[in-house]
Structure 1
Amino acid sequence: MDNSEINQCLIIGEFARPCVLPHLNNLKDVPFVFKQDFGLDPLPTEPGLIIIRGPRQYGKSTWLEGQIALTIKQFGAGSALYLNCDEISDYLHLINEIKILNELFSTTAIVKRLFIDEITAIPDWEKAIKRLIDGNELKNTLLVTTGSKATDLRRGIERLPGRKGKLNRTNYIFTPISYAEFLEKCGQVFKTDSLMAYILSGGSPVAINALASTGRIPEYISTIATDWIFGEFAASGRSRAHLISVLQSLYRMAGTPIGQAKLARESGLANNTTAQGYIDLLIDLMAVIPSFHYDNERGISLFRKPCKYHFINLNVALSCHPKKPRSIDALKMLGEDLGVIFEWTVAQEIWRRICIKGEGDLPEHLNFWQSKEHEIDFVLPEENRFIEVKSGSFNPVNFTWFLTNFQHHKLTVINKNHFDTARIIGITLEDFLLSS
């Protein structure tokens, strides 16, 4: 169905008709349906603008269709309408379509919501929204938009000041499902392999259901993730071969601080600027995040020093991984590579929690601490927390150096052992993922 046909059904409240909300309808055929908790529950009844961004394959379209159905159930036929931007040519076309739809809401609807899927497909989409809001044409409508680029969220924030209504919060990142939700819904299927299954799936509902049904991540699932990344780079005029080379360098030097000059050399790129362009787009796609050296004495991140690059989208990380792990057994056989994958798992979880809290802007970097002899993988200044990630078994004696370097702080060591001293605490990766 196209936009017009879908809205003809929504106007009369027939959202359950086949093909009207296809993603929602498909949930009847999957083993597990997960609650998507990304900080927005429930939708506000007030008018305004909500901007939701997130990676592909995490269920944004399914969530959006679910909210359309819920809106009509709560507020009646004609209270929710839909616009898929794949059918929109430019921002002027977008303005025209929104104007038309805004006239089609039921006159009896006390809540009016227009859901716009993948608005980032339209260049300069924010111009359309700005013009409509400035013209007072959306004063009674809640606009809910989704997209797949973090840079687009930032641009929308910057270019739409004071135009998002009176909502307490308007910007959201659609995050992977939590490990707690994963365990609750399908822990009995994976049992002792639950942690590995979660990591392999990256918290993607599509990948989890495929893994639960077939025992592996089908190649078409991985291809969707890689095609999305490669497609965005192609659309930006960047080379597929250069992207592959950059990704190979990130895998090869994972967990190690690397400067732009070295990244360019290792990837065979012309210069630092070119390398930075590839990294910036990976960051905008919410695939990786830089982690900078933290100066604990001054309480600042040292942006001029070499930084680490953590994958915060495990689905993309393992789909593009040179060893292509597609089953739990294959993931376990990665050997030493598992250590850095555990580190990425922690990075993804830290990023996920920051996004859900929504305190301040989108998280643009993490921090680590390093001296000539020692290193701490994650420093969370706002929580006064230090986290070290190990894949093996350790005990507090291995970290006595921390006690002399940090007089008033505590260290959490994620490893295979539990221990609890005054300032050094040992927990497992599962413990960390399940902690609040």
Structure 2
Amino acid sequence: MALASQDRTLLPICKQSFNFCVIIETRVSILAKLKNSSAFYIIMKIEDIVLQNPWWKSAGWEKADRDLRQLEGLKYIYDRKEYLPHKNGVFILYGPRQVGKTTWIKQRISEMLKGNTSTNVFYMNSEMVRDRFELYDAIKTVISLYNPKEMFIDEISAVEEWERAIKGLVDAGLLEGRRLVLTGSSSVNIMKKAERLPGRMAQGQYKFRYYPLSFKEVARVYGIEVKTPHEAMARLDELNSILYAYFLHGGFIKAINSLNKEEVLGENIFSLYSAWIDGELAKIKRSPETATHIMDGIANAMTNDVSWSSLARGISHPTIAEYIEILKNMFVVDYIEKSKRAKAGATKNKKIYFTDPFIYWLSLFKSRKIISAGKSDIDETTAGKLAELSVYKNIKQHLDLKLGENEFDSRRYIHFEKERTGETDFVVDYGGRTFKLESKFGKTIKEREGIVYLTKDTFSDNKLPLSVFLMFPEDSLQLLKL
């Protein structure tokens, strides 16, 4: 009996990957013989792998790709083309879910192939494999059969002990001459597991954080391309015109499109991202209700220095501290500490922020305080909170991209000060320089020497419009006379 073409594709898998040198005439007999082995599972999964790599068989695959098809009909799209270095090695790209990592991968694959078919590029969502052994076997099989040079493994943190599979592939020499990009959504999983791969990652920076869009990137989404701080000052009215929209949708491209289509952020967009947070918590057996309670406390306390125990009544300090670290690792919140230059004996309180303006509104939705959010919901107090949050977010992302550190931690560079003479929102130390920043969006300013004040639209020797600073968190300070 002759083998069907689909069945014949399975023979090399058995022979090359699992050393089964039997004569098999039908697909049924293949599966029967391998039913209780790991080979059986890989053979069943190789078809799924082929489905995830449609460019192996046909050009024009983009039209049917679910991730790229979601971009159709969207008014606003942003493509971070140059985000990883073009060199061989193992790289890690991680950030919150629903921020566009998978879409970024598909855009890169489309760009690499330029309309051609090729097995040189391999993609796999690791949620399709059960453990590190199947992860190892799946990648080894694809390398044996197709010899791809560009490899993308999505959501690697879904696999327990994934680093052991990658270590085995590197040590076996199977990844030489290839670029392997691993993506994940949990920073603690990625960072701790990657530490177990000494000498096996790419040279130089190999860990990259994939954040929601910065204000500068959002401006580009809206068609505002500004190259220098001076040009930003000249186009201040344009930048300010999108600032309140940014205070709502932040850097999430789906939220940008939702707001511009509906004029408010509604239940659909909030529910999508709420499910992300609740789903990640469920995976580690933590309570979404407890997290929501703590997030509500953060929304109320944001811009003030606080103790963890003050954030939520009825929840113990250790529990709050644990959940804050979990939410931090999920890219939901972040916090800074008091500057070491401050006088001894001062409070150990911290200032905690959501990582993006959109997540502030999401926290209110999860707490059932709002069902939608629009520009009319941004009063003076809320604008002040979101302005300060935006300052922190954009400083952090700027420093991360500029410094290029694998283990970037903003707390090494960004602090706050609170002394008798007043509070300083952000003290930024890096490269032997120090910048002191106060977010005063629409607030009365009581000036102190050496402080840069970020205002709604005032420009003077020590005052800078917020939107100009957000565009250029470092270079814009050169406009001032301090």
Q: TM-score range by the shorter chain?
A: 0.7 to 0.9
Query: Does 2:360 correspond to 1:310?
Result: no
- 2:130 and 2:253 map into 1 onto residues whose CA distance is 31
- Rounded to whole Å, the distance in 2 between the matches of 1:128 and 1:58 is 27
- How do 1:18-417 residues align onto structure 2 when only pairs under 5 Å count? 18-19=63-64, 21-36=65-80, 40-41=83-84, 43-44=85-86, 46-73=87-114, 77-105=118-146, 112-166=149-203, 168-186=204-222, 193-263=241-311, 266-270=312-316, 272-296=317-341, 305-321=348-364, 322=367, 323-324=369-370, 326-332=372-378, 334-360=379-405, 361-365=407-411, 366-382=414-430, 383-394=433-444, 398-399=446-447, 402-403=448-449, 410-417=450-457
Deviation at 1:355? 2.5
User: 2: CA distance between counterparts of 1:225 and 1:70?
Assistant: 29
User: 1:309–1:297: structure 2 CA closer, same or farther, 3 Å change rule?
Assistant: closer
Q: Which has the larger radius of gyration?
A: 2
| Closer, same or farther: CA 35–18 of 1 in aligned 2, 3 Å | closer
8 Å contact kept, 2:265–2:374: no
Paired residue type of 2:180 = L
Distance 1:192 1:372 in 2: 34
Q: What TM-score comes out, normalization by structure 2 length? A: 0.77
The code of the aligned residue for 1:309 comes to I
| Residue identity opposite 2:212 in structure 1 | P
Q: What is the letter of the counterpart of residue 363 of structure 1?
A: D
Q: Shift in Å at residue 193 of structure 1? A: 3.9
* Paired position in structure 2 for 1:406: none
When residues 358 and 57 of structure 1 are mapped into structure 2, their CA distance, relative to the original with a 3 A threshold, is: farther
Q: Which residue does 1:4 correspond to in 2? A: 50
Question: Structure 2: which 5+ runs fail to align?
Answer: 1-46, 225-237, 476-482
Q: What's the offset of the Cα at 1:277?
A: 0.7
| Cα distance, 1:172–1:358 mapped onto 2, change above 3 Å | farther
Letter in 2 for 1:432: F
- Which residue identity does 1:158 align to in structure 2? E
AA partner of residue 194 (structure 2): I
Paired residues of 2:79 and 2:104 also in contact (CA < 8 A): no
What code does the residue aligned with 1:411 have?
I
| Equivalent position amino acid for 2:332 in 1 | A
Contact 1:35 1:181 in 2 (8 A): no
Cα deviation code 1:1-27 (max 9, x no counterpart): 9432232x32235352543x3212332
Displacement of 1:278: 0.3
Count residues in correspondence.
406
String of CA shifts for 1:216-256, please: whole Å, max 9, x gaps.
Answer: 22322111211111222222222222212211221222222
Instruction: Indicate if the aligned counterparts of 1:13 and 1:78 stay in contact, CA closer than 8 A.
Output: no
Cα distance per residue 1:346-388 (max 9 Å; x no partner): 1111122123224332225331011134101111011411110
Task: Assess if the C-alpha contact under 8 Å between 1:226 and 1:316 holds in 2.
Answer: no
* Offset of residue 79 of structure 1: 1.3
- 2: CA distance, partners of 1:303 / 1:171: 35
Following TM superposition, by how much is the alpha carbon of 1:282 offset from its aligned partner in structure 2, in angstroms?
Answer: 0.9
Q: Return closer, same or farther for 1:307/1:131 CA change in 2, 3 Å cut-off.
A: same
Gaps of 5+ in 1: 404-409
Cα shift readout 1:179-206 (whole Å, capped 9, x = no counterpart): 2332233268x98641111221111111
